[in-house]
Amino acid sequence: MLNRLLAGLLALLALSAGLAASPSLAGPVRTGHLTAELAAASQGVTPGGEVRVVLRQVIDKGWHTYWRNSGDSGAPTELTWTLPPGWSAGEIVWAPPARKPIGPLMNYGYSGEVLLPVTVRASASARPGDTVTLRAKAAFLVCADVCIPEDADLSLDLKVVAEDPAPDPVWAPRVEAALAAAPRPGQVEAILISGPSGLSIAATGAVLAGGKARDAYFFPYEAGVLDHAAAQTLDRGPEGLTLALKPAPGAAVPSSLAGVLAVDGKVYEIEARPGRALPGAAGLGPPPSPGPATAATAGGLAGAILFAFLGGLILNLMPCVFPVLAMKAASLASHGQDRAAARLQGLAFLAGVMATFLALAALLLVVRAGGAAVGWGFQLQSPPVVAALALLMLAVGLNMSGLFEIGGSLQGIGAGAANRNGALGALLTGALAVVVAAPCTAPFMAPALGWAMTQPAALSLAVFAGLGLGFAAPFTLAALAPGVLSRLPRPGPWMETFRKVLAFPMYGAAAWLAWVIAVQAGPDLLARLLAAGVALAFACWLWGLAQKRAAVGRSARVLGASALVVAGLAVAGAVWPQPASAGSKAPETTGASTNGLAYEAYTPERLATLRAEGRPVFVNYTAAWCVTCQVNERVAFSSRTAAEAFESSGTVYLKADWTRRDEVIATDLARFGRAGVPLYVVYPAGGGEPKILPQLLTPDLVVRAVREAAKG
């Protein structure tokens, strides 16, 4: 019944995800917390020649962006070029980074002004006298106490000349200085040493001779190999130095270690390979021994798939999936005794679920591979995606209420009208079910998905396949089981009333998503969504009126076209991105539940301070679009007994709100082996290992955890 509606609006949903990160202007661009521009070192370029182009960032005071390896959190600056045919751009020449400690974390990045040169090669067929436009999309993660993704569409006009161009009087010396300051290979020889005490790099070279180095630090190119926050101990020798490094927890011994060695303000690019300590470098350890490769065992994979399957089964019971469960129930009941049609629909629903789960998993892996710290449910961190989903739920509800029809009416079920395109409808319903289930994390899912996020792509996809099989199993098995079908009531006119009753869960889902928009982006975007909802309802009414006119042989083209135009404007008005400064909602730093349970906004620095004071801490990783989180909020945290337990024990309640994209929170989740929220972590008084609570909470469980934490 809903085939065309689901297909069209799911397509709009996919489009809106792409629109979520579209803005910007040409030339120098103010993104919100920095100004970016492109500049060239010369006043032109010859056909087939090269020109140095620089990406300049002027970052607001107190904010920073990130180096190629951002460290424990964050994401590097990205530059995506759009060049004329035959032109090409090289890699970014990264300026030397600075250490950016944030509580227990260590990040690497830039403050103030930074220049990142790139070599651009012109096409050999470029014609002297022409002016070409080089375009690039720059993506920054700009951080202070919070992190904000910002984008800029940049452009640079460049003249093609017949002879070597003159250097630009302003930019040529600045670009040359940036290139001279960048680390270069060949000046330092380095050896990687591994032993029982950890790793060390022994470095020698004329620039290090004399044993006078006062400060040295190694910035690795690859994340996840070293513990970035650990101290690097310097030992000097007559010909160089040795740095003692701490491997990242669980990391294998690397076959080599490449990066930037900073010594007393000067930087050198090195690649340390295994070997014995170099003479005169103050070597600290024995010859290296190869470490075991980290790979998932067959038992680990089987356990993760089993947990994912069980989590998928339980996911059917979560409240965020109920609206689509209602659609599935109505669809299955519509087939009555037609077992062949029911079996086909069950298999099609399975295919829709599996395809969508695997597509979301693949997209998640690609985004993470690109350096973004995201997790399960990441698509709902985009307000345009949430807005599109809200309008989709509203349109489905209006269709079920009979305002307009897609395909045949349920009154004709007995004659088989609702069986038309049943397989396609079931497939699309399966896809929609997965999209709606994204905000939920059921028991057993968290450890399975957390394990999957640390594995190669093939193993990760196998775990997500297990999740999809578990999620689709109840409906698919019911559709394939003759005993279930024989107990269903026979189709008839009562199905029309049943359909209208099932519209109300869809309205409830739309209202919930509107609340999520309000939490994510504030009242301005909520007002746009509400206006879009009214316009979409009007478009659906026009479409229904057009259908009635067509049914009696009257022309309905004008009404139909008007309905499509109004619907298109409604959806575009809701999902089109706003300027970064418009409608944004400032993060809350303090608050309280309905029963007086006070909380503070989570930051790693605040957590580190509280732990240093020896105080017990309860950290709630949550999100407005996570229905499980909201249920726990109302059930476990809003009770008076919970508030009294926090107050009497002196436990500090921190909320880590992941409603919007936050790299620090995503990194924390990964550290605890989780790919999504909710996550509840209790830190005992006086230090000690944190305790992770179950995903479904009760007031008694929270009270016990808080009182135990207070005892230390």
Confidence at residue 235, expressed as pLDDT on a 0 to 100 scale: 81
pLDDT beyond 70 at 440:
no
Residue 648, amino acid: S
- Write out the residue limits of the CATH 2.60.40.1250 domain(s) in the chain: 31-181
Torsion on CA atoms 191, 195, 198, 204, rounded to nearest 10: -20
pLDDT beyond 50 at 472:
yes
At the top level of CATH, the class of 590-711 is alpha beta
Confidence at residue 320, expressed as pLDDT on a 0 to 100 scale: 60
Confidence at residue 289, expressed as pLDDT on a 0 to 100 scale: 33
Alpha-carbon gap, residue 192 to 200, rounded angstroms: 6
Q: What letter does residue 291 receive in the DSSP assignment? A: P
Q: Where are the beta strands (DSSP E) in 253-376?
A: 257-263, 266-274
Note whether 314 and 694 are within 8 A (CB): no
User: Quick one: what percent of the chain has pLDDT higher than 70?
Assistant: 78
Show the CA angle centred on residue 152, arms to residues 150 and 153, nearest 5°: 155
Which whole number is the average pLDDT over 25-49? 89
More confident residue, 421 or 549: 549
The three-state (H, E, C) secondary structure of 451-517, written as one string = HHCCCCHHHHHHHHHHHHHHHHHHHHHHHHCHHHHHCCCCCCCHHHHHHHHHHHHHHHHHHHHHHHH
Confidence at residue 68, expressed as pLDDT on a 0 to 100 scale: 95
Note whether 308 and 269 are within 8 A (CB): no
Alpha-carbon gap, residue 8 to 395, rounded angstroms: 11
134 CB-near residues (< 8 Å, 6+ apart): 38, 53, 81, 83, 87, 120, 155, 156, 157, 158
Nearest to 346 by CA among 270, 286, 430: 430
Confidence at residue 458, expressed as pLDDT on a 0 to 100 scale: 82
- Write out the residue limits of the CATH 3.40.30.10 domain(s) in the chain: 590-711
Lowest mean pLDDT among 236-240, 273-277, 465-469, 613-617: 273-277
Pairing mode, strands 131-143 and 198-204: unpaired
Confidence at residue 413, expressed as pLDDT on a 0 to 100 scale: 32
- Return the bridge partners of 99, or none: 108
Nearest to 291 by CA among 195, 222, 190, 192: 195
Q: What is the mean pLDDT of the chain?
A: 79
Nearest to 461 by CA among 469, 216, 166: 469
Most confident of 15-19, 29-33, 282-286, 635-639: 29-33
Show the CA angle centred on residue 150, arms to residues 148 and 153, nearest 5°: 180
More confident residue, 358 or 89: 89
Confidence at residue 292, expressed as pLDDT on a 0 to 100 scale: 29
Which whole number is the average pLDDT over 20-32? 60
The 10s digit of each residue's pLDDT in 171-225 is: 999 999 999 999 988 889 888 887 666 788 888 888 888 777 888 999 999 998 9
Confidence at residue 297, expressed as pLDDT on a 0 to 100 scale: 33
**Number of helices followed by number of strands (H, E) in the chain:** 18, 24
Note whether 388 and 575 are within 8 A (CB): yes
Most confident of 96-105, 325-334, 386-395, 519-528: 96-105
Q: Which two tokens stand for residue 599?
A: 């909380």
Lowest mean pLDDT among 113-122, 307-316, 573-582, 692-701: 573-582
At the top level of CATH, the class of 31-181 is mainly beta
The band of 53, judged by pLDDT with boundaries at 50, 70 and 90, is: very high
At the top level of CATH, the class of 189-274 is mainly beta
Confidence at residue 57, expressed as pLDDT on a 0 to 100 scale: 96
Note whether 616 and 706 are within 8 A (CB): yes
pLDDT beyond 70 at 599:
yes
What is the Cα 10 distance to its own chain's centre? Answer: 20
User: Quick one: what percent of the chain has pLDDT higher than 90?
Assistant: 27
The band of 425, judged by pLDDT with boundaries at 50, 70 and 90, is: confident
Nearest to 306 by CA among 430, 183, 465: 465
The 10s digit of each residue's pLDDT in 665-711 is: 877 787 777 777 888 999 999 877 788 898 888 888 999 999 999 88
Nearest to 503 by CA among 634, 626, 325, 326: 326
Alpha-carbon gap, residue 133 to 158, rounded angstroms: 6
More confident residue, 490 or 161: 161
